Amino acid sequence: MRNLFLVAAVAVLSFTTVQAQSISFGAKAGANFASLNGDDADDLDGRTSFQVGGVVNIGISELFAVQPEVVYSAQGYTQDTAFGEVKGKLDYINIPVLADFTLAEGFSLQGGPQVGINITDEAELDGETASIGAESVDFSAAIGAQYRTPLGLFFQARYSIGLSNVIGDTTIEGVTFETDAKNSVLSVAAGWFF
Protein backbone atom coordinates (compact mmCIF):
# COMPACT_ATOMS: atom_id res chain seq x y z
CA MET A 1 0.00 0.00 0.00
CA ARG A 2 2.83 2.35 0.88
CA ASN A 3 4.46 1.68 -2.53
CA LEU A 4 1.17 2.40 -4.29
CA PHE A 5 0.91 5.74 -2.47
CA LEU A 6 4.50 6.60 -3.38
CA VAL A 7 3.91 5.75 -7.06
CA ALA A 8 0.72 7.86 -7.08
CA ALA A 9 2.52 10.82 -5.50
CA VAL A 10 5.34 10.62 -8.05
CA ALA A 11 2.82 10.39 -10.89
CA VAL A 12 0.91 13.46 -9.68
CA LEU A 13 4.11 15.49 -9.27
CA SER A 14 5.35 14.39 -12.70
CA PHE A 15 2.03 15.31 -14.31
CA THR A 16 2.15 18.74 -12.66
CA THR A 17 5.72 19.27 -13.87
CA VAL A 18 4.82 18.21 -17.42
CA GLN A 19 1.85 20.58 -17.40
CA ALA A 20 4.15 23.46 -16.34
CA GLN A 21 6.47 22.89 -19.27
CA SER A 22 5.96 24.64 -22.58
CA ILE A 23 7.12 23.06 -25.81
CA SER A 24 7.58 25.09 -28.98
CA PHE A 25 8.49 23.71 -32.41
CA GLY A 26 10.08 25.88 -35.05
CA ALA A 27 12.14 26.17 -38.22
CA LYS A 28 15.14 28.34 -38.99
CA ALA A 29 17.50 29.36 -41.78
CA GLY A 30 20.61 31.48 -41.87
CA ALA A 31 24.19 32.07 -42.90
CA ASN A 32 27.38 30.25 -41.88
CA PHE A 33 30.84 31.79 -41.82
CA ALA A 34 32.93 28.64 -41.48
CA SER A 35 36.58 27.66 -41.53
CA LEU A 36 39.03 25.27 -39.90
CA ASN A 37 41.27 26.12 -36.93
CA GLY A 38 44.48 24.40 -35.86
CA ASP A 39 48.17 24.04 -36.63
CA ASP A 40 47.46 22.40 -39.99
CA ALA A 41 44.84 24.98 -41.02
CA ASP A 42 46.85 28.21 -40.91
CA ASP A 43 46.73 28.86 -44.67
CA LEU A 44 42.98 28.25 -45.01
CA ASP A 45 40.33 30.91 -45.52
CA GLY A 46 36.63 30.75 -44.69
CA ARG A 47 33.64 29.45 -46.59
CA THR A 48 30.41 31.45 -46.46
CA SER A 49 27.34 29.30 -46.91
CA PHE A 50 23.97 28.51 -45.33
CA GLN A 51 22.11 26.47 -42.74
CA VAL A 52 18.50 25.31 -42.45
CA GLY A 53 16.77 23.17 -39.87
CA GLY A 54 14.24 22.49 -37.14
CA VAL A 55 14.17 23.64 -33.51
CA VAL A 56 12.38 22.46 -30.36
CA ASN A 57 12.33 24.65 -27.25
CA ILE A 58 11.34 22.72 -24.11
CA GLY A 59 10.61 25.03 -21.19
CA ILE A 60 11.70 23.54 -17.87
CA SER A 61 11.01 26.66 -15.83
CA GLU A 62 10.29 30.32 -16.47
CA LEU A 63 14.01 31.09 -16.94
CA PHE A 64 15.44 27.80 -18.20
CA ALA A 65 14.78 25.65 -21.28
CA VAL A 66 16.49 22.95 -23.29
CA GLN A 67 16.69 23.56 -27.03
CA PRO A 68 17.65 20.63 -29.28
CA GLU A 69 17.93 21.27 -33.01
CA VAL A 70 18.54 19.33 -36.21
CA VAL A 71 20.30 21.52 -38.78
CA TYR A 72 21.74 21.01 -42.25
CA SER A 73 24.93 23.08 -42.07
CA ALA A 74 27.12 23.83 -45.09
CA GLN A 75 30.67 24.32 -43.74
CA GLY A 76 34.24 24.04 -44.96
CA TYR A 77 37.02 26.33 -46.15
CA THR A 78 38.71 27.88 -49.16
CA GLN A 79 42.41 27.85 -49.97
CA ASP A 80 44.37 29.83 -52.55
CA THR A 81 46.92 27.62 -54.32
CA ALA A 82 49.21 28.00 -57.33
CA PHE A 83 46.56 26.10 -59.34
CA GLY A 84 43.60 28.24 -58.24
CA GLU A 85 41.14 28.40 -55.37
CA VAL A 86 40.29 25.10 -53.68
CA LYS A 87 36.82 24.96 -52.12
CA GLY A 88 36.62 22.48 -49.26
CA LYS A 89 33.02 21.41 -48.67
CA LEU A 90 32.33 19.81 -45.30
CA ASP A 91 28.57 19.70 -44.86
CA TYR A 92 26.96 18.25 -41.74
CA ILE A 93 23.69 17.33 -40.15
CA ASN A 94 24.34 19.05 -36.82
CA ILE A 95 22.45 18.15 -33.66
CA PRO A 96 23.08 20.72 -30.92
CA VAL A 97 21.43 20.27 -27.52
CA LEU A 98 21.57 23.66 -25.85
CA ALA A 99 20.78 24.93 -22.39
CA ASP A 100 18.75 28.13 -22.81
CA PHE A 101 18.99 30.69 -19.96
CA THR A 102 16.57 33.64 -20.15
CA LEU A 103 18.19 36.90 -19.06
CA ALA A 104 15.44 39.33 -20.04
CA GLU A 105 12.06 39.14 -21.71
CA GLY A 106 12.66 37.30 -25.01
CA PHE A 107 16.47 37.33 -24.71
CA SER A 108 18.45 34.24 -23.73
CA LEU A 109 21.99 32.91 -23.73
CA GLN A 110 22.56 29.37 -24.99
CA GLY A 111 25.33 26.81 -24.77
CA GLY A 112 25.92 23.11 -25.03
CA PRO A 113 27.34 20.19 -26.98
CA GLN A 114 26.83 19.51 -30.68
CA VAL A 115 27.27 16.35 -32.72
CA GLY A 116 27.71 16.64 -36.48
CA ILE A 117 27.27 13.84 -39.01
CA ASN A 118 29.34 14.51 -42.12
CA ILE A 119 27.38 14.22 -45.38
CA THR A 120 29.65 16.07 -47.84
CA ASP A 121 33.41 15.54 -47.91
CA GLU A 122 35.04 17.06 -50.98
CA ALA A 123 37.61 19.53 -52.21
CA GLU A 124 36.81 21.19 -55.54
CA LEU A 125 39.27 22.79 -57.97
CA ASP A 126 38.26 23.84 -61.50
CA GLY A 127 35.23 21.54 -61.48
CA GLU A 128 37.23 18.49 -60.34
CA THR A 129 36.46 17.02 -56.93
CA ALA A 130 38.31 14.73 -54.54
CA SER A 131 37.61 13.44 -51.04
CA ILE A 132 39.15 15.36 -48.15
CA GLY A 133 39.09 12.28 -45.92
CA ALA A 134 36.93 13.83 -43.21
CA GLU A 135 35.82 11.93 -40.13
CA SER A 136 32.18 10.85 -40.28
CA VAL A 137 31.32 12.39 -36.87
CA ASP A 138 32.32 15.79 -35.49
CA PHE A 139 32.01 16.97 -31.87
CA SER A 140 31.70 20.67 -31.06
CA ALA A 141 30.72 23.08 -28.31
CA ALA A 142 28.27 25.84 -29.18
CA ILE A 143 27.56 29.15 -27.45
CA GLY A 144 25.30 31.96 -28.53
CA ALA A 145 22.32 34.20 -27.95
CA GLN A 146 18.71 34.13 -29.06
CA TYR A 147 16.01 36.79 -29.16
CA ARG A 148 12.39 35.61 -29.40
CA THR A 149 9.56 38.04 -30.16
CA PRO A 150 6.09 37.62 -28.63
CA LEU A 151 4.82 36.57 -32.09
CA GLY A 152 7.24 33.59 -32.30
CA LEU A 153 9.82 35.10 -34.65
CA PHE A 154 13.35 34.49 -33.34
CA PHE A 155 16.91 35.53 -34.17
CA GLN A 156 20.11 33.68 -33.26
CA ALA A 157 23.84 34.35 -33.26
CA ARG A 158 26.06 31.37 -32.44
CA TYR A 159 29.67 30.24 -32.45
CA SER A 160 30.59 26.54 -32.65
CA ILE A 161 34.14 25.44 -31.96
CA GLY A 162 35.22 21.96 -32.96
CA LEU A 163 36.48 19.63 -30.24
CA SER A 164 37.56 16.84 -32.58
CA ASN A 165 39.81 16.87 -35.64
CA VAL A 166 38.01 16.99 -38.97
CA ILE A 167 40.52 14.68 -40.65
CA GLY A 168 41.56 11.42 -39.01
CA ASP A 169 45.07 10.29 -38.18
CA THR A 170 47.24 9.05 -41.05
CA THR A 171 49.77 6.23 -40.63
CA ILE A 172 52.73 6.04 -43.03
CA GLU A 173 55.32 3.30 -42.59
CA GLY A 174 54.30 2.73 -38.97
CA VAL A 175 54.38 6.42 -38.03
CA THR A 176 51.05 8.05 -37.15
CA PHE A 177 50.46 11.69 -38.04
CA GLU A 178 47.62 13.66 -36.48
CA THR A 179 46.05 16.42 -38.55
CA ASP A 180 45.25 19.37 -36.28
CA ALA A 181 42.24 20.95 -38.01
CA LYS A 182 38.93 21.55 -36.24
CA ASN A 183 35.68 23.13 -37.41
CA SER A 184 34.99 26.75 -36.51
CA VAL A 185 31.61 28.23 -37.43
CA LEU A 186 30.04 31.61 -36.73
CA SER A 187 26.36 31.59 -37.71
CA VAL A 188 23.40 33.93 -37.73
CA ALA A 189 19.86 32.70 -38.28
CA ALA A 190 16.23 33.70 -38.14
CA GLY A 191 13.26 31.46 -37.60
CA TRP A 192 9.72 31.00 -36.42
CA PHE A 193 8.27 29.07 -33.50
CA PHE A 194 4.86 27.73 -34.54
- The four Cα atoms 21, 25, 29, 33 give a dihedral, to 10 degrees, of 30
Q: Which fold does the domain 22-193 belong to in CATH?
A: Porin (2.40.160)
Domain ranges of the chain: 22-193
Tell me what pLDDT residue 6 has.
Answer: 47
E strand or H helix at 189, and its extent? strand 182-193
pLDDT tens per residue, range 109-168: 999 999 999 999 999 998 899 998 899 999 999 999 999 999 999 999 999 999 999 987
Question: Is residue 19 scored above 80 in pLDDT?
Answer: no
